[in-house]
Amino acid sequence: MKNRHELVTTNFGLPFRMVVHTNSTPEDISLHWHKAIEINCMLDWPLSEINVDGKEYQMKTGRIWCANSMEPHYVHALKNDVTRRAVSIILPYDFVKNIFTEIDQGEICLNNFSKLTTKQQKIYQEELFPKFEELFQIVQEPDKFLRLNLYLKTLEIIKLILTNFFKEEKSIRTINDEQAERMNLIRDYVDQHYRAKIQLEDLMPVVHLSRSYLAKVIRNCFNMTLNEYVNLVRSEKVLADLQAGITKQTELAERNGFSGLRSMNRWLEKYYSAGAKELRQNLEQ
């Protein structure tokens, strides 16, 4: 089963993505990864096989699970059930890093309920799970404070998880450690230099690979070329600027490394199916 990179787009005008699953949502989700932390709560869900970073779990109604940034994961339903309710919160890594700088020093550990402490299990069942139920109801019964309520409730969930389920030590990855390290080096370099022109030659001394092999590694790890990945990061930064209230297109292009408006809007169209003007209008709705 091949890992595929999934672009994380935000919604509801918020700096993260919220997905409410119902009986119209597919029961199976294919293997993928993203530069984001994904937290899922199974409010009413059939027994399913959850695979996160090569570790398999069987979960159903009442369970909450997390895929940390860049951990491949998939869901496969083991039983059919017409009644399905779940909530997924997908938090871009940069958003989490901005509000919790220690995130790169560890990982969220939620998936093995039996290994949680008695105190953690109590918080999991009596505090965390009910907050996801409240989140589901906010979406199902929207009012004029929808965006505000979603934001505040999600922040409550994030704080509760980071306070009680964050482990300041990363586990040994089941995917190739060398591959994971290269992905991190490439990601960090692009995050720091996306405003400049980035070529394979710039990354060669960082990961100590030949040009041709580096191109192959990037294609295998990110399922895209270096140029596509760099412009993906630039597009994510443009979206973040739009959410922060920066709307002048020339400024957006200059701030984020695009050669001009045409180039910026072409890449935004590729990744978000909308140019800067349309994205801004969508955010204002």
Tell me the average pLDDT across 168-190: 72
> Which contacts of 184-187 are long-range, i.e. CB under 8 A and separated by 24 or more positions?
184/70, 186/218, 186/221, 186/222, 186/229, 187/35, 187/70
Confidence bin at 24 (pLDDT 50/70/90): low
* Helix/strand/coil (H/E/C) assignment for every residue in 166-181: EECCCCCCCCCHHHHH
What is the pLDDT, as a whole number, of residue 44?
94
| pLDDT above 80: residue 25 | no
Q: Which of 228, 213, 226, 110 is nearest to 160 (CA)?
A: 110
Low-confidence winner among 5-9, 220-224, 234-238 (lowest mean pLDDT): 5-9
More confident residue, 175 or 199: 199
More confident residue, 8 or 249: 249
Tell me the average pLDDT across 247-265: 95
What is the pLDDT, as a whole number, of residue 175?
47
| pLDDT above 50: residue 276 | yes
Condensed to tens digits (0 to 9), the pLDDT of residues 84-94 reads: 899 999 999 88
Q: What angle do CA 146, 10, 224 make, to 5 degrees?
A: 170
Tell me the DSSP string of the chain: ----B------TTSSSEEEEE-TTS-S-EEEEB-SEEEEEEEEE---EEEEETTEEEEE-TT-EEEE-TT--EEEEESS--S--EEEEEEEEHHHHHHH-GGGGG-EE--S-GGGS-HHHHHHIIIIIHHHHHHHHHHHHS--TTHHHHHHHHHHHHHHHHHHHHEESSPPPPSS-HHHHHHHHHHHHHHHHHTTS---HHHHHHHHT--HHHHHHHHHHHHSS-HHHHHHHHHHHHHHHHHHTT---HHHHHHHTT-SSHHHHHHHHHHHHSS-HHHHHHHHH-
| pLDDT above 70: residue 174 | no
Tell me the average pLDDT across 201-206: 95
| pLDDT above 90: residue 193 | yes
Mean pLDDT of the chain: 88
Q: How far is CA 222 from the centre of its chain?
A: 14
Tell me the average pLDDT across 124-147: 95
Tell me the average pLDDT across 47-51: 92
More confident residue, 266 or 82: 266
Domains recognised in the chain with CATH numbers = 17-167 (2.60.120.10), 177-284 (1.10.10.60)
Q: Which of 52, 76, 64 is nearest to 171 (CA)?
A: 52
